[in-house]
Amino acid sequence: MRGSLSKRLLCLLAVSLGVSVGLIRCDKGTKVVEYMGNVEGFVIDSLTRLPIDSAWIRIYPDTLNPPITHTDSDGYYFFEHAPGIHRYHYCGKNGYVTKRTDEYQVRKDATTTVDLIELAPLVFGRRDDP
């Protein structure tokens, strides 16, 4: 009884302090520590095939405050110490349609390369329907 109460208090404290960023998950009063790995990839424009600079990428799920990073001028992004298990990204930039990636698994103590993310530009003032 006492151990279960202390685990619940630890989880409550972690959540209330905002410390739970995918490293500690509270589930029925237990503490589960996930492993960490790195994640990298590229973001390009789906029409021009050119890299997209300053696109944002967030890793989900299982976090209260998902990690975010941005692409460089080559469209490259890198997350260091990303929480493990099954993940997916949301990626976007002003002027583009936000995209969700397929689910992938972060490799423990290694770098996982995610498939190329192609963002479609928003097109305004055009109607293709008759």
CA angle (12, 13, 17) in 5-degree steps: 120
- pTM, two decimals, is 0.67
* Whether the predicted pLDDT of 91 surpasses 90: yes
The pLDDT tens digits of the residues spanning 34-44 come to 678 889 999 99
The average pLDDT across 78-102 equals 87
Q: Which CATH class is domain 35-119?
A: mainly beta
The pLDDT tens digits of the residues spanning 6-47 come to 555 444 444 444 333 334 344 444 334 467 888 999 999 999
Cα–Cα distance for residue pair 127/118, rounded to 1 Å: 22
* Whether the predicted pLDDT of 125 surpasses 90: no
The average pLDDT across 99-106 equals 86
List every span in the chain annotated with CATH 2.60.40.10: 35-119
